[in-house]
Amino acid sequence: MIFERGHFNSDKIEKSFINESLSQRKTFSASTTTDYKPTVFLSHKHSDLEDLQGVMGLLKDLGAKIYIDSIDDKMPKETSGDTAKRIKNVIKYCKKFVLLATDDAIESYWCNWELGFGDTHKFIEHIAILPMKEKGKFDSQYKGNEYLQIYPHIYYENGNNTYRNSSTIITKGYYVKKPKNKEGITYITELSKWMKK
């Protein structure tokens, strides 16, 4: 299942939470340890702010600390080589890498560059794609289907399915699903547990 835009906004997220989260992240420094250490680099297209806020709410509810570059006060005012250096340092520093993979993000030079760099430094165990399609579109129309074949992705389990070769129901909730392996088997991990690995 690919999430539709607005999926995470159905949960009411208080603006005060978002403002508090954004102001806390302004103090982030990859070269120092502070009381507030981000654990997730959340790659996104800056025009996806509404969906970004909802995803931040989900990850925060699961205990994650999130870094987003758009509110980092250490970023250069103009995009430059220093921008890329800063992003590289932060991706290395953060434990997990999540791409909010909207159609716009998939077409973004920066998001693809960040994903490639994250791939090099986070490996398959610490990267997840959060696929998001436009409202009213079919999953097959999603521009990032190729990404889902090579990277783990976040999806929602509705509690109606069972594990392979078992009658055990998969508990309702968010999971990270790895691409099928050579034997055609797909492994899933609860998103909250994946965050702690």
pLDDT of residue 194: 94
Q: 26: buried, middle or exposed (CB in 10 Å: 19+, 13-18, 0-12)? A: exposed
- CA proximity to 109, closest of 83, 141, 76, 142: 83
pLDDT of residue 168: 93
Q: Where are the domains of the chain?
A: 3-155
Distance CA 20, CA 134 (A): 29
pLDDT of residue 62: 87
The crossing angle, in degrees rounded to 10, of helices 15-25 and 49-61 is: 90
**CATH T-level fold of 3-155:** Rossmann fold (3.40.50)
Model confidence, pTM: 0.85
Instruction: Kindly report, residue by residue over 76-105, the tens digit of the pLDDT.
Output: 888 889 999 999 999 999 999 999 999 999
Parts of the chain with a pLDDT under 70: 10-38
Q: What would the two tokens of residue 1 be?
A: 């299942």
